[in-house]
Amino acid sequence: MNPKPGHYLLLVLALYALVVTLGFAVRGRQLAALRQEVRLLERKAALAPEGYRLPLPGACLPSRPEDLPNAPRPYRKGVSAGFVFRPWEACVPVVLGTGVVAVAPGEVVRVDQAYQELAPEAYRALMERVKEGASPEDLDRLKGLQVWIRHPDGRTSVYAHLKAPYRGLRVGQRVARGDPVGYVGNTALQGGPPRLLLEIWEGPPGRSPFLFQGLSQEELLRKARAFFGLE
């Protein structure tokens, strides 16, 4: 004889009653400790920041030294200030038009809506000029089309070499972590392979230290995995 559906319901209710009964049987001291632990977790959750995530959903950190902050850039006598995500090296596709998202909540402070590529002659002149070091203006041109977001902790994230900003994105707009901000491109690369440059500055870009500045590669990767919630 097969049990009727109502029998299953009665069994579930009986098990629930047993669990509740056992819960009431726990000694008062244990219940008080559990309540205190729950309250502590609730306070921590309320105070914990939302945290940072990578700008390409599902991506992993770059592994090549030249794609990490502090990597030398001999052609301009400087170092990279950010993470470079390239095709086939980011654990997700990095192709023209791949969606880029905000790494943390914040306010949009720059959107290059009217960006224009340098003509080949102007680009060659720029590359010649930066051989002895790039000015802030030169560095800005080398990053192509950009979006900047200022975060509540004072940091600013920069998304560079974009194909275009997300449609409708504007300065002053508030975004949540994971909101779309643009599309992977190859601006300022003179037709080179698509890539995304992510810089995170402790304050205003170019006028404050960048995230993980001066760290060794091993320490940088260890801290970056924790910072982006990859552990």
In a domain, 56, yes or no: no
Q: Are 62 and 47 in contact (CB under 8 A)?
A: no
DSSP 3-state of 139: helix
Residue 54 binned pLDDT confidence (cut-offs 50, 70, 90): very high
Residue 138: what pLDDT?
96
Residue 151: what pLDDT?
98
Percent of the chain residues past pLDDT 90, beyond the cut: 77
**105 and 164 belong to one structural domain:** yes
**99 and 202 belong to one structural domain:** yes
**140 and 208 belong to one structural domain:** yes
Three-point CA angle 77, 94, 123, nearest 5°: 40
Q: What is the per-residue pLDDT across 88-147, written as a single tens digit (0 to 9) for each?
A: 889 999 999 999 999 999 999 999 999 999 999 999 999 999 999 999 999 999 999 999
Residue 210: what pLDDT?
98
Residue 29: what pLDDT?
55
Ramachandran class of 84: left when φ > 0, alpha when ψ lies in -120 to 50, beta otherwise: beta
In a domain, 103, yes or no: yes
- Please compute the mean of the pLDDT values over residues 80-94 and round it to a whole number: 95
The amino acid that residue 214 corresponds to is G
Q: What is the per-residue pLDDT across 168-206, written as a single tens digit (0 to 9) for each?
A: 999 999 999 999 999 999 999 999 999 999 999 999 999
The rounded distance, in Å, linking the Cα atoms of 107 and 148 is 9
* CATH number, residue 199: 2.70.70.10
- Please compute the mean of the pLDDT values over residues 9-29 and round it to a whole number: 44
The two tokens of residue 14 are: 């009986």
The rounded distance, in Å, linking the Cα atoms of 80 and 67 is 8
**42 and 143 belong to one structural domain:** no
Looking at the structure of the chain, the number of domains it has is 2
Would you list the DSSP string of 47-65? HS------SSTT-----SG
The rounded distance, in Å, linking the Cα atoms of 71 and 9 is 63
**19 and 126 belong to one structural domain:** no
Residue labelled with tokens 């340098």: 118
In a domain, 60, yes or no: no
The amino acid that residue 191 corresponds to is G
Q: Are 144 and 199 in contact (CB under 8 A)?
A: no
Domain encompassing residue 98 = 65-227
Residue 17 binned pLDDT confidence (cut-offs 50, 70, 90): very low
